[in-house]
Structure 1
Amino acid sequence: MEIIQLNTVTKSKSLEILRLSHQLGYANDTQLLFTRLTQILSLKDHAVFVAQMDGKIVGWLHCLVCLRVESPLFVEVAGLVVDEHMRGQQIGKKLIEASKHWSRHQDIAIMRIRCNVIRTESHQFYQALGFISNKEQKVFEMNL
């Protein structure tokens, strides 16, 4: 297995990422996902890492630098998915390690990740990697 940082995306790679996203219940339009990935990869303060086995994507992670008025600069893991058939093989851990290395290269010493309250297995995974839970919150959304 290898972890690589994506610099470009093909339609086939975006379909593999789409397939993994569906496993966590995230519905996406194929073309819109491809367009978003293309936009994200053009941004210097974002990174997308993929775990590949035999040329197939079995996990992905998206992280970005967050600049906020109230907080020191930090990197947020915006998304992390490992194929449900491949979990327990250190893939998620290796993706987190790649994002930690990228964060240090950005001179950023804080990393955050948000996780749905119902994903208790994920909570245990992140805690085992050294993340600590420091806040619970609700997310409010409005269609415009």
Structure 2
Amino acid sequence: MNAKLGAQSEAQINISPAALADAADIQGLTGELGYASTEAQTLDWLSAMLESPGYGVFVARSVGDGTISRTVGWVVVECRLSLETGYKAEITGLVVSASHRRLGIGEALVARALQWSDAQGLDTVIVRSNVNRDASHHFYRALGFSLSKTSHVYQLALS
């Protein structure tokens, strides 16, 4: 899947499945979300996802503008199963580099996640968004997602 960036650039965006070679770029973009991880951790987690048919991991690469191709975004979508609602897809992560936002890249990544979900036979896609991420709330609504509920998340470390 390719998308043309805005008129100010001749760059193209290519959306493709992630590869282990993308780990360093993915880790850097994850930091833009506010999550700290090492490249080694990212490589380990990415490897596990790529080996599982239950995950779709896709990257957006900026290509063709006279510069070296670089990863400017990623999305993870997974098949989820619960006893209450059955099978569904969940977008569990999405980020676009701050320097490439508002150019349609996030929308292209979500479109690819929806294609993956449809190919898996899943008819519902959900996404959770931190209450503090106002821009993402507007983004998902603009793509046709509707708010279905709010919840609290509790965490307990087992170390």
What band does the TM-score fall into relative to the shorter chain? over 0.9
Match of 1:4 among 16, 21, 37: 16
Q: Do residues 29 (structure 1) and 41 (structure 2) align?
A: no
Aligned pairs (5 A) from 1:1-144? 1-6=13-18, 8-10=19-21, 13-54=22-63, 55-144=69-158
TM-score, with length taken from structure 2: 0.87
Question: Percent identity at matched positions?
Answer: 32
AA partner of residue 79 (structure 2): V
The DSSP-based 3-state class of the residue aligned with 1:81 is strand
**Which runs of 5 or more residues in structure 2 are unaligned?**
1-12, 64-68
The size of the alignment, in residue pairs, is 141
Where in structure 1 do 4 or more consecutive aligned residues deviate above 2 Å?
A: none
TM-score, with length taken from structure 1: 0.95
**Which runs of 5 or more residues in structure 1 are unaligned?**
none
Distance in 1 (alpha carbons) for counterparts of 2:88 and 2:131: 22
- Choose 1 or 2 for highest CA Rg: 2
The DSSP-based 3-state class of the residue aligned with 1:73 is strand
In the TM superposition, residue 122 of structure 1 has moved relative to its aligned partner by 0.5
